[in-house]
Chain A
Amino acid sequence: MENLLEFKNVTAGYGRVQILHDLTFEVKKGEVLGVIGPNGCGKSTMFNALIGLITPTQGNIIFKDHDVTKMSANDRARMGIGRTYQVPRPFEGMTVYENVLVAAVHGAGMSEKAAQPKCIEALKLTGLYDKREVVSGTLTLLDRKRLEIARALGTQPVLLLLDEVAAGLTEAEVGDVMQMVADLKAEGFTIIWIEHVIETMVNSTDHLMCMSDGTQLLIGDPLEVMNSKLVEEVYLGVEEDE
């Protein structure tokens, strides 16, 4: 299967602080790649570098066979990279529908009229259709998480980046979100999914990557990665000789 995304020796960070160090991995079309790692290991920074909020100081990011390393965030969104944020960032003064409309109009380059059915589709897929006229600043955390996904879908992405969509939710709500991600996978989206609910990642992803100190520690079959002593040591804090 053809590569959709390649990270080639990417080093990036904020100002003088480098968070990612020589990070290398690739994602194939239609694949769901899970990303795990301890807090502060650079998972969200990897997303920020991937969508263009920060520019790598070294290395290259190749998306759809184009070098997008220096490309602006809005151009990358138009190329088909849709992203959710760990802490939801809805456009709070706008309604749920308007949030998705912005993404469809600016991210997918549609007219407002042409975007309408696509927005409705995204709202139905994420279970927000009945709340389409609600001002997004008044939504619950679960609905904000849903809106993050709906807005990312509004850009008509080829690659969907999910940043801890289950974080902070109740067990029942986590089930809802997991089902939503399963539906997206069934729709054929290529997904990179950062999550701390690791057991669910094993069943829902094609490959799992464990990050540590801004670099790739291990990537491969989810079960093998989960059972790796190296991952246990770094991620779960278990010493290899215990």
Chain B
Amino acid sequence: MKRHQTGLLNQALLIVVIVVLAVLYLCAALGLIDSNVMRIMLSMCLYCAMGTMWNLMSGHCGLTSLGQQSFVGLAGYTLAVMTTYYSLPYGAAIIVGGILSALLALGLSLVFFRMRGMYFAVATWITAEALKTIFTSWGFVKKGAGMTVKLRPYPTTMEIFILALTLAIVATLVVHFLLKSRTGLGLSAMGNDADAASSVGVNIFKSKLVCFVLAGFFTGIAGVIFYMNKGSIFPTGGFSIEWTVSIVFIVIIGGVGTSVGPIVGSIIYVLLSEFLSKYPGWSNIILGIIAIVVIVVMPDGIVGTLQKKFHFEIMSLRRHAPE
């Protein structure tokens, strides 16, 4: 497919996406969506935002974290503490939860960026486990008994869904425009080979920092919105490795390093989880088998494979030389 044809296809797809999103907002606002469907779409939006951020780190920048649950749990507890203890509005908790998660990422980066590859991944995982232990024994957050989220004013599922949908859109656009920027060019180079990128002038520490802090911020906000809907938080759930396992599954299924892979992956993951919830003992096994099959049959994920096969790229990040 020629460059101008790809451009036209991308524009057409963009228009379709904008129309679909506008219809979604309208239907949600008018109460035309069934509450159960809205709950499912809410999950899709939150996983999409988290998957997009993990994809930015691992798929584009070579920074694989296994500790995204640190941000989810920390931000979830921020919501619980702010709303239950201090009766603050959830809007403030969304902002503070995001900022605290970003600050956690900033603090961790000072130590963890000395590590590479698997060592970095394990360090982020251990941090999440340490946070789980701390919150389980911390009296202020009621130890392992968990906390109830008392929201004032209490938002409807429609309002929470609109927040989640907005978060997914903003996260996708922020990552897309970041990768299209001068910084993004360096991030992509770093993801390919950090030493070689450094030797052509890319500031590796700054690039990693941008990714990690941004991922912390958005993953934290997703955590706040998730627990707004759930209504209670426990250390075992908030800091569970299941969060990262789900995010990794979503990105692998959708397509690592593709712009829309996390969107497709989150839709598939949530629908599969809903279906498999009838078989609690089997759900994780079946999800694992699906992930393995996709890795073997379509190593570029669903979106990546389709893009390669039909020579197109949705929300392409390619830079072209002038004709």
Partners in one complex: yes
Binding site for B on A (CB under 8 A): 51-53, 72-74, 77-78, 82-83, 85, 89-95, 97-99, 101-103, 105-109, 111-112, 116, 119-120, 123, 132-133, 151-152, 154-155
A-B pairs with beta carbons under 8 Å apart, 9 shown: A91-B189, A93-B257, A94-B189, A97-B321, A103-B201, A106-B201, A112-B185, A133-B320, A155-B200
Give the total number of A-B pairs whose CB atoms are below 8 A apart. Answer: 101
B120 to chain A, nearest CB (A): 19
Binding site for A on B (CB under 8 A): 182, 185-186, 188-189, 191-193, 195-204, 257, 318-322
Contact B196 A107, beta carbon cutoff 8 Å? no
- 10 nearest interchain CB pairs? A107-B201, A106-B201, A91-B192, A77-B201, A103-B200, A73-B198, A97-B321, A89-B196, A102-B189, A132-B321
CA distance A72 to B237 in the complex (A): 42
In the complex where A91-B192, A94-B188 touch, is A102 in contact with B202 (Cβ < 8 A)? yes
B187 to chain A, nearest CB (A): 10
In the complex where A89-B195, A94-B189, A112-B182 touch, is A119 in contact with B200 (Cβ < 8 A)? no
B316 to chain A, nearest CB (A): 12
A84 to chain B: closest residue by CB? B199
A97 to chain B, nearest CB (A): 4
Cβ–Cβ < 8 Å partners of B193 in chain A: 89-92
In the complex where A89-B196, A93-B257, A155-B201 touch, is A120 in contact with B318 (Cβ < 8 A)? no
Contact A102 B321, beta carbon cutoff 8 Å? no
Cβ–Cβ < 8 Å partners of B191 in chain A: 93
Contact A53 B195, beta carbon cutoff 8 Å? yes
B195 to chain A, nearest CB (A): 6
Cβ–Cβ < 8 Å partners of B199 in chain A: 51-53, 73-74, 77, 83
Contact B186 A106, beta carbon cutoff 8 Å? yes
B313 to chain A, nearest CB (A): 12
B7 to chain A, nearest CB (A): 14
Determine which of B185, B192, B198 lies in contact with A93 in the assembled complex, contact meaning CB atoms within 8 Å. Answer: B192
Contact B318 A85, beta carbon cutoff 8 Å? no
Determine which of A91, A101, A120 lies in contact with B196 in the assembled complex, contact meaning CB atoms within 8 Å. Answer: A91
Cβ–Cβ < 8 Å partners of A132 in chain B: 321
Cβ–Cβ < 8 Å partners of A91 in chain B: 188-189, 192-193, 196-197
Cβ–Cβ < 8 Å partners of B196 in chain A: 85, 89-91
CA distance A116 to B197 in the complex (A): 19
A64 to chain B, nearest CB (A): 16
In the complex where A53-B198, A105-B182, A106-B185 touch, is A97 in contact with B203 (Cβ < 8 A)? no
Question: Given A53-B195, A85-B196, list of 9 further CB < 8 A pairs?
Answer: A74-B203, A90-B193, A97-B321, A102-B185, A102-B202, A108-B201, A112-B319, A120-B322, A123-B321
CA distance A82 to B322 in the complex (A): 24
B176 to chain A, nearest CB (A): 16
Contact B201 A74, beta carbon cutoff 8 Å? yes
Cβ–Cβ < 8 Å partners of B320 in chain A: 97, 133
CA distance A108 to B185 in the complex (A): 14
Cβ–Cβ < 8 Å partners of A94 in chain B: 188-189, 192
Contact A101 B185, beta carbon cutoff 8 Å? yes
Determine which of A52, A92, A111, A151 lies in contact with B200 in the assembled complex, contact meaning CB atoms within 8 Å. Answer: A151
Cβ–Cβ < 8 Å partners of B197 in chain A: 91, 102, 106
In the complex where A93-B257, A94-B192 touch, is A105 in contact with B185 (Cβ < 8 A)? yes
